[in-house]
Amino acid sequence: MLYHWFYEPERVRVKLNEKYRLLLFNKLEKFGGPHALSRKIGCSPATICNYFKGLGLSVGFLKKILDNLKIPYEEIEPLITEISWVRNPKLPFNLDTVEISSLSAAILGDGSNTTRLMYKNTRSELIKKVEIAAKKVFGEITIDHRVTEKGILYVVFPRIVGRVLTFNEIPYGNKIYQNNGIPNSIKKCGKKTKKAFLQQFFDDEGGVEVNYRRIFLSQSTDCTKYLPKNFYNSMEKEKAYYIKDIPNSILRELHPSKILVDIKTMMKKSFNISSTLRFKRIRRYENHATSFWELDIGKKDDIRRFYERINFYSYDKKNDLNFMVNRSYEMPWNIYEIIINESIQISKKQGFFVPSNVSKNLNLPFNSVNKRIKFLNKLGIFSRKENGYILNIKT
């Protein structure tokens, strides 16, 4: 799919190659010069002269000139030297590329497409990656570098980038209210383009939990309209409400994040990676409520396939995944004794213990530790309480 210069709003400024601009100006003689043309298209002679001197030529006016000269719009595309803060634009912009896929994921992830198109991330390598992708697609693009009050890097792109992405099904507006999915244009592309989208989105919105041996991806979406007024009004602001706090009749009405549903489907169909989509919680804010969803890759074979076929780009997440996949999971021969001793140490400090703390302290996979704690619980060595486990043996 291509995006042409004449798709731009009529008031957008455009510059032509100097020689071709003069050639067009000379062709005006067939209309009797600027005065005759001004009567034909409803524009003052002075404005026409200014346009052809290279002062403020607009997309709308250029289209009128070409229409009257019977010149196809596409013919002048290689002769445009600047359009909407993009110098030497790579017109027409090709939207079937790895770079546009990565850029789309970035805006749907840590970016936004509102009154300005921006991308924010704490990892400088991801900022640089998105900048390079934009320049490969658009040309010599003007990018504004800024820093938030909290010291987080972000970049602001010209609005033409936002208009192109909107044309490519990245909607304009606040993402949390729209519940966007993956653009159909990307769903139809090959594996390389799909990988670029998935990798960028996992870099922005996902992560690795080594001790839990899982890869996760999370998203929030507005759920205000699915909540009965009496329940919504009873919610405390900023408080999280989990499954146990929410009636089943409401849970059944909640709509999951579309992009997580699409990613789950794409990973399975294109990369044979299975995952689980779970509802986590609801949170009330000043004027709306959001539901929080998480996609989880937890099986060993699926983690390995993600590692080999998609992976991360950001250094820290890539290193965590590499460590999780390639480290040895062989349990010590006296693993039960080790777990019991660590549980004793934790219990001495707080009166109880939870499996995640044992796993973290021992630097062992959570699932392996949790499975053995449950077995010790059945044997009566531990007892399950509301806040964790307690010891049934004297220390």
Q: What is the DSSP string of 7-73?
A: GS-TT-BEEE-HHHHHHHHHHGGGGTSHHHHHHHHT--HHHHHHHHTTSS-BHHHHHHHHHHHT--G
Q: Is 97 exposed, middle or buried (0-12, 13-18, 19+ CB in 10 A)?
A: middle
Specify the pLDDT at position 395.
65
> What was the pLDDT predicted at 329?
64
Domain-terminating residue out of 83, 116, 144? 83
207 and 283 belong to one structural domain: yes
For tokens 């890759």, what's the residue?
297
318 in a structural domain: no
- So what's the pLDDT on residue 295? 98
Whether residue 356 is contained in a domain is answered as yes
Give the rounded distance of the alpha carbon of 248 from its chain centre: 31
Nearest to 186 by CA among 313, 268, 98, 126: 98
The H-or-E segment that residue 221 falls in is: strand 214-222
**In whole angstroms, what is the distance from residue 302 CA to residue 283 CA?**
31
Q: What's the CA gap between 382 and 37, in Å, rounded?
A: 91
In a domain, 69, yes or no: yes
In-domain check, residue 161 = yes
> Would you tell me how many other CB atoms lie within 10 Å of the CB of residue 189?
21
The answer to the question of residue 123 being in a domain is yes
| Beta carbons of 179 and 257 less than 8 angstroms apart | yes
pLDDT tens, residue order, the chain (395 aa) = 999 999 999 999 999 888 887 777 777 666 666 677 777 777 777 777 777 666 668 898 889 888 888 899 999 999 999 999 999 999 999 999 999 999 999 999 999 998 889 999 999 999 999 999 999 999 999 999 999 888 889 999 999 999 999 999 998 887 777 888 999 999 999 999 999 999 999 999 999 998 888 999 999 999 999 999 999 999 999 999 999 999 999 999 999 999 999 999 999 999 999 999 999 999 999 889 999 999 999 999 999 999 999 999 999 999 999 988 987 667 888 999 999 999 999 999 888 999 989 988 988 888 889 999 999 999 999 999 888 999 988 76
Kindly report the pTM of this predicted structure: 0.84
46 and 106 both lie in a single domain: no
CA-to-CA dists, residue 138 to 63, 74, 94, 142, 361, angstroms? 21, 17, 9, 10, 49
Whether residue 282 sits in one domain with residue 215 = yes
Q: Are residues 235 and 256 in the same domain?
A: yes
Residue 182 lies in a domain: no
Residues 221 and 309 in one domain: yes
Range of the domain at 250: 199-313
Residue with tokens 């099904």: 169
Residue 186 located in a structural domain: no
User: 83, 109, 142 — which closes off a domain?
Assistant: 83
Note the pLDDT of residue 54.
64
Q: Are residues 73 and 138 in the same domain?
A: no
Do residue 213 and residue 306 come from a single domain?
yes
- CATH code of the domain in which 252 resides: 3.10.28
Task: Give the CATH number for residue 153.
Answer: 3.10.28.10
Q: Cβ atoms within 10 A of the Cβ of 196, count?
A: 24
Q: Are 335 and 372 in contact (CB under 8 A)?
A: yes
Same domain, 227 and 165: no
355 and 299, same structural domain?
A: no
Which pLDDT value is given to residue 171? Answer: 85
